[in-house]
Structure 1
Amino acid sequence: MASDDERFEELVTGIVAPLVLGGKLRLARPFGQLGTKLGEGRHIVDADVRSRIDVARVRRARLVAPVDTLPDLDAHEWALAAALNDLLQVTNHELGGLFTKGRYMRLVRSVFDLCGQIPPPRDVGAALARHATFARVMELGRADTSVRWWTGSASFRGVPPPKRLLMWQNLRRVHVETQRVPLHEMCDGLPSTVAEGYQIALAAWLSRSPLTDLGSITRAAPTFAWTPATIALIAVPAGRMLAFRVLSRQRAEHVTTALEKARAGLDGGLATHRAVVEEFSREVVSAFEAMRAKPEKRTASGTSSPRT
């Protein structure tokens, strides 16, 4: 059995490094509750990898804030990375068989429980640090390949087809089609309860990084909804500014539609924060209108009457 240090290294090389630096993620076996303590007192051993991750995180953060440094990943961020690994394992169509389909829902519940043990960012700086690490999560996808030949067909999710199936393509009339499956659709084809649980767990995961949650507000699924963490972020001026900056990188009409749907969905204890949410939504709409007006003003001021 792998030691905790070895499992931490799996998390570094398989999840965090490719997520931050770009590249293919390599999933490890689920971490479960180990994820809550795996990052305590540990840091990335490889100095080169650590340096490149630091630079990439600062570069990402500077898209929304004028910072030159960020703190190292803390235990909560490592726990989020472990939860992401386990969440992606839910999409593994080979995880359960005919008599072991219960594995999917057990893993979904494990991810949900793990996210529940990760507190929201303690302040705006911590929210920015988490976003710098996980900003690309909703860009993740899986390459699925279908192969058809004159006597049959086969599908491969996230893995390339074996070379033997691609031999003698003209003679065997081999046709290969590759499709990119976005993160929110990666459970399609599994039982509906698993797919629904996956969406709920993904929403719970996003809620642990509120700036990332807002930064993907126009996503197809899971639909954005206000959470205590996102409301706490926009309740302070610095957090509100960061929130607008991540929103401004998306299409204005899609952002305003998502904000309106989320405002209408406020209920329960969150309904008491309706005034904060509505004020922020109005400010976002006004800011987008001002941004659209600026090019028009520049065009108008730079236009001269044609000479006669």
Structure 2
Amino acid sequence: MSAALDDKTLRTFGELFHGFSVGWLAPIMSGTPAQATRALPPHALDTFAHSRPTDAEADRALYEAFHRLAAQVAPVGTLPYPDRGTWALAMAAHNLATLTDPLLDAVFRRSSRATVRAWADQLVEAAGDPQTRGEALMRYALVERVQALQREDRVIKNWAYTYRFWGRPAPANVVALPKVRFVREAVTQTPLASFWSSDALDDHMFALHGSMQALVARSPLTTLLHLADTPDFHFTPATLAVLSDPALRHGVAHHLVKRGLGTAASRIGAALRELTALGASPTSLGAATAFVMETAMMASLDRQAGEAVPNCSDVDARLFWAVLPEALGGHDALDPLEVVPPSDRRRLGEWAMAISALLDDDTRHLATSLFRRVALPSVRSPS
């Protein structure tokens, strides 16, 4: 993707970038109507990654939207401008969105769908995993907005004709003189996620599901924040890297507890069990264990007075909760991550003792052996 480009190609890419950044990316990040441009080839990535919108208002709106969404997860002072990986994912998302256009086959040969999807997959591969806190937050912000995309479809009828416009505004002449021509317009919003995940899609559309899953996987922060909706959740090098950052780890734990742990406790416990069985390194186990500790502590302190102890009937949920009494020594309110104020430590210790009484010997043994192997991350880390 780094080969030298001739002047004509650079001009073409410049035009594509303007239409993409100003007409599509800035609007979707800001939550306003967007218009897709032509499919974006992977070899335009280097040009896009070194460009900024020439429209100052779009440039400002783009950065402010990234910052606003990132701040929902972790406190941020300043964010870097979108990095190469974020641009790659944005380009891939744009291409996947264009593939939901029912008129695409009227513009291109049907076989071009496979080409555009392949371009999206190549861009997802080129994105790699985020390397910094800022990159992880930028990707989260992007994927959140992409997953919320909707296609606005219109059916317009007048005294003589019916017109359908999928994902497009109606031309002015079609809706002109509404009273004279008895113009009636029906507008529907169709989530693009339904095109990426529906079981009823044809072969060309069904393949988008795998492409979209691969795109979301490039945002490990998104994966963690939505793990309650992910039955096959497991820890990966990318998610563990995110969890080794205390600000991101705290943000994920806070989000899960605020939503209500529900099935998340069992899924995290299952992922921790798998990681232990695979013989993961002390550092990897430490990142996962620190996440479980902080989430369990936060959930325990968030409970209402007199609330019953959590349901530990599920074996994986038991392992999730077993980490808490093991971290606190079963009786003493020690906080290895220094995330609990001293005023709450006694209450937390009492809760840990109540949980410990529900655990079976096998779960206690696994939690104890886990803590003998872990290397917990530092409380602070660079951004």
Query: TM class, shorter-chain normalised?
Result: 0.7 to 0.9
Task: Note closer, same or farther for the CA distance 1:142–1:98 as it changes in structure 2 (3 Å cut).
Answer: closer
**Equivalent pair of 2:16/2:38 in contact (CA under 8 Å):** no
**Equivalent pair of 1:218/1:250 in contact (CA under 8 Å):** no
Describe the SS at the equivalent of 1:253. coil
CA shift for structure 1 position 94: 1.5
Mapping for residues 1-308 of structure 1, pairs under 5 Å? 2-96=11-105, 100-146=109-155, 155-160=164-169, 164=174, 177-186=186-195, 191-217=201-227, 227-248=236-257, 250-253=259-262, 255-256=264-265, 263=271, 280=291, 283-284=294-295, 287-293=298-304
Count of equivalent residues: 291
- Opposite residue 192 of structure 2, the aligned amino acid is L
TM-score calculated relative to the size of structure 2: 0.61
In the alignment, the residues of structure 2 paired with residue 292 and residue 217 of structure 1 have an alpha-carbon distance, to the nearest angstrom, of: 21
Describe the SS at the equivalent of 1:143. strand
**Equivalent pair of 2:25/2:90 in contact (CA under 8 Å):** yes
**Equivalent pair of 2:100/2:192 in contact (CA under 8 Å):** no
Residues 242-272 of structure 1: per-residue CA shift (max 9 Å, x gap)? 3224445545436557657x849979xx956
CA shift for structure 1 position 147: 5.7
Describe the SS at the equivalent of 1:44. coil
- 2:345 matched residue in structure 1: none
Any unmatched runs of 5+ in structure 2? 1-7, 308-383
Task: Note closer, same or farther for the CA distance 1:183–1:102 as it changes in structure 2 (3 Å cut).
Answer: same
Task: Note closer, same or farther for the CA distance 1:52–1:169 as it changes in structure 2 (3 Å cut).
Answer: closer
**Equivalent pair of 1:207/1:230 in contact (CA under 8 Å):** no
- When structure 1 is superposed on structure 2, of 146-155 and 224-233 the one drifting more is 146-155
In the alignment, the residues of structure 2 paired with residue 154 and residue 283 of structure 1 have an alpha-carbon distance, to the nearest angstrom, of: 56
- If asked which structure has higher relative contact order (CA below 8 Å, sep 6+), I would say 1
CA shift for structure 1 position 18: 0.8
**Equivalent pair of 1:169/1:175 in contact (CA under 8 Å):** no
Describe the SS at the equivalent of 1:15. helix
Residues 13-69 of structure 1: per-residue CA shift (max 9 Å, x gap)? 022211222211211111121342123432233334333333333232222222221
Describe the SS at the equivalent of 2:211. helix
Task: Note closer, same or farther for the CA distance 1:4–1:147 as it changes in structure 2 (3 Å cut).
Answer: closer
- Opposite residue 20 of structure 1, the aligned amino acid is M
Structure exhibiting the larger radius of gyration computed from Cα positions: 2
**Equivalent pair of 1:146/1:178 in contact (CA under 8 Å):** yes
TM-score calculated relative to the size of structure 1: 0.74
- Opposite residue 295 of structure 2, the aligned amino acid is V
- Opposite residue 197 of structure 1, the aligned amino acid is A
**Equivalent pair of 2:143/2:216 in contact (CA under 8 Å):** no
**Equivalent pair of 1:11/1:81 in contact (CA under 8 Å):** no
- Opposite residue 139 of structure 1, the aligned amino acid is A
- When structure 1 is superposed on structure 2, of 99-108 and 116-125 the one drifting more is 99-108
Any unmatched runs of 5+ in structure 1? 297-308
Residues 148-185 of structure 1: per-residue CA shift (max 9 Å, x gap)? 7899966542234566489889998x875433211211
Residues 205-236 of structure 1: per-residue CA shift (max 9 Å, x gap)? 1122222333444669x986654422331244
In the alignment, the residues of structure 1 paired with residue 294 and residue 62 of structure 2 have an alpha-carbon distance, to the nearest angstrom, of: 34
In the alignment, the residues of structure 2 paired with residue 255 and residue 176 of structure 1 have an alpha-carbon distance, to the nearest angstrom, of: 43
In the alignment, the residues of structure 1 paired with residue 118 and residue 268 of structure 2 have an alpha-carbon distance, to the nearest angstrom, of: 29
- Opposite residue 38 of structure 1, the aligned amino acid is T
